[in-house]
A and B are shown apart, each in its own frame.
Chain A
Amino acid sequence: MPVTTIADREIHVDDDGFLTEFDEWDEDLAKTLATAIGIGDLTEDHWKVITFLRSDFQEQGETPTLRRVSVVGGIPTKSLFQLFPKKPARKMSYVAGLQKPKGCI
Chain B
Amino acid sequence: MTTSETAPTMVPDFGDEESDRKIAFVCSKGSLDMAYPALVMASGALEQGIETHIFFTFWGMDMINKKTMGNLHFSPVGNPATHMPAALAPLPGMQAMATKQMKKTLEDLKIPDVPSFLEHLSDMGCKMWACQMSVDMFSLTEDAMYDRLDGILNVADFIEIIDGAQTMLI
Q: How far is the CB of A91 from chain B (nearest CB, A)?
A: 6
Top 4 A-B residue pairs of the complex, sorted by shortest distance between their CB atoms: A86-B49, A77-B123, A17-B12, A4-B10
Interface string of B1-32 (1 = CB under 8 A from A): 10011111111111110000000000000000
Contact A105–B43 (Cβ < 8 Å): yes
Known interface pairs A3-B7, A6-B9, A104-B40. Does A87 touch B14 (Cβ–Cβ under 8 Å)? yes
Residues of chain A contacted by B16 (CB below 8 angstroms):
38, 86-87
Q: A2-B10, A67-B43 are in contact. List 8 more A-B contacts (CB 8 A).
A: A2-B7, A3-B4, A3-B5, A16-B13, A17-B12, A87-B16, A90-B12, A105-B112
**Residue among B13, B44, B49, B112 with the most chain A CB within 10 A?**
B49
Known: A4-B10, A17-B12. A81 touches B48 (CB 8 A): no
Bound-state Cα–Cα, A81 to B122, Å: 12
Neighbouring B residues of A16 by C-beta, 8 Å? 12-13
- Residue contact B10 to A13, C-beta cutoff 8 Å: yes
Q: For residue A76, which residues in chain B have a CB less than 8 angstroms away from its CB?
A: 123
Q: Which residues in window 89-117 of B have CB below 8 A to A? A: 110-112, 117
Q: What DSSP secondary structure best describes chain B's contact surface?
A: loop
> Across the interface, do B6 and A5 meet the contact criterion of CB distance under 8 Å?
yes
| Interchain CB contact under 8 A, A5 and B49 | no
Interface string of A16-58 (1 = CB under 8 A from B): 1110000000000000000011100000000000000000000
Q: Does B150 contact A (CB under 8 A)?
A: no
Q: Taking A1-B4, A77-B124 as contacts, is the C-beta distance between A37 and B9 under 8 angstroms? A: no
Q: How large is the interface on B (under 10, 10 to 19, 20 to 34, 35 or more residues)?
A: 20 to 34
Could you say which residues of chain A place their CB within 8 Å of the CB of B120? 67, 70, 77, 105
Q: Given A67-B112, A77-B123, A104-B44, A36–B11 Cβ distance below 8 Å?
A: yes
* Residues 25-71 (chain B) with a chain A CB within 8 angstroms: 40, 43-44, 47-49
Q: How far is the CA of A5 from the CA of B12 in the complex (A)?
A: 14
Roughly how many angstroms separate A104 CA and B111 CA in the complex, as a whole number? 9
Residue of B5, B14, B110 contacting most chain A CB atoms (<10 Å)? B14
In the complex, A64→B107 CA distance in Å? 17
Say which residue of A2, A18, A36, A87 sits within 8 Å of B48 (CB atoms).
Answer: A87
Docked pose: A9 CA to B125 CA in angstroms = 38
Cβ-defined contact, B7 with A104, below 8 A: no
